[in-house]
Amino acid sequence: MSRSIAKPARRNFLKAAGIAIALPTLESVAAPRSRSPREPMRMVCIGSALGIHPDAFFPTSSGPNFELPPTLQPLSGVRGEFTVFSHLDHPAIYSKHGATSSFLSGVGGQVPAGANTSMDQIAADHVGYATRFPSLHVSLGGSLGCSWTKSGIKVREDSDPRDLFNKLFVRDSAAAAKARQLQLEEQGSILDLVGEQAKRFERRANPSDKQKLDEYVTAIREAEAKLQGMKRWIKLPKPNVSYEIEGTPHSGMDYEFLSPLMFDLLFLAIQSDSSRVFTAGFGMHNHAIEFDGVKDGYHTLSHHGNLPDRLRQLQLIDRFYIDQMARLVQKLKDAPLGERGDGTLLDQTMVMFGSGMGDAARHSNRNLPVVLAGGGLKHHGHLDCQQASGRQTPLNNLYTSMLQNFGVDIDRFNGATGTIHFG
């Protein structure tokens, strides 16, 4: 490979700490601090399948000067650039581990196709093929499965960051590019045939069949739009980046190798405008993650039973997740827009960390751990979202605000009751 930037460092993480729609003026979203009209907004959603141990995550005081709890200590270098939220959740979700799939939608169970569309895919549809990839998805240790298209299809995630590297930056051979072009043309012909058959069937379909047919036609239209977008990019060269992948991971649990690589590639994809919507995740499994001091399986540790040794191991993992977020936020903050506008890439990138599960030890889907950084927003520090009635605020209120800040013309996302005020 012909790239050279320092390889992802193996280190003790505890020692290191498009088509734009004008954003409407809303009371719920403060004016950005430094938004370039020429530079698009991005969104990165980072997920943990097994939540975060709440006692070491949630601050005990509110406001901008709150004391950082142990798990959030890696964010100390970017104070003022993020908000920690408490008492947010998806009110209708009580599916324990199954809530992972509803993390970015707030919709679970058996629902009509498209009713569970995730917020990242709303954003991806807004961008379309203005970038080579409307969205990019990668996950370590298993799939999160939380991204869903408007036709109800689960979005595939890359399970190895090196596959993501090849997708983003490795040029296809002439023979491979030609074969891909022929494949796309063949798929287009098949879609034309299927579309004609659907039209003929529609004339004699009963109401029940017609609903299913509508879902089918929607999926065909999605596929057609995707094919046309892919055809536009197939002959355009991929970006040249200076990055060298050196070495190999010991296993899929070698997070100290794989995770920095994963987030480095997300940063390069943002910098090269290869995509503007990303999900990155840490999946559910019961393997021992390769950290010093961690010997037990991840799922076992999440059900710690308040045993001190298990809690210690779990908090090493939780803190590593936040460290990876903090590392990406710092890289974005250190990247000026230069000729593209005022500010930094962080001003034009929302980075969210969260989970569809709160306290995994209790299989709780309440009080979800959520942090949002960047995006040109005026951040709160720690915002307690518990309502006067004692109820928690829907997480989809925050997602509505994020989508509005992204440029999507939307009033309510998937049953949100309002928005979150930044300012």
- CA 378 vs CA 33, 34, 338, 374: distances in Å: 7, 10, 22, 9
313, 295 Cβ separation under 8 angstroms: yes
Q: Which residue has the tokens 């196709």?
A: 113
CB atoms within 10 A of CB 408: 19
Contact by Cβ (8 Å): 372, 322: no
pLDDT in 10s for each residue of the chain, 423 residues = 333 334 444 333 323 322 222 223 223 333 344 444 568 999 999 999 999 999 999 999 999 999 999 999 999 999 999 999 999 999 999 999 999 999 999 998 878 777 899 999 999 999 999 999 999 999 999 999 999 998 889 999 999 999 999 999 998 766 666 666 566 566 556 656 666 666 666 666 666 666 666 666 667 667 667 777 767 788 889 999 999 999 999 999 999 999 999 999 999 999 999 999 999 999 999 999 999 999 999 999 999 999 999 999 999 999 999 999 999 999 999 999 988 788 999 999 999 999 999 999 999 999 999 999 999 999 989 999 999 999 999 999 999 999 999 999 999 999 999 999 997
Q: What is the pTM of this model?
A: 0.83
Rounded to the nearest angstrom, the gap between the alpha carbon of residue 17 and the centroid of all alpha carbons in its chain is 23
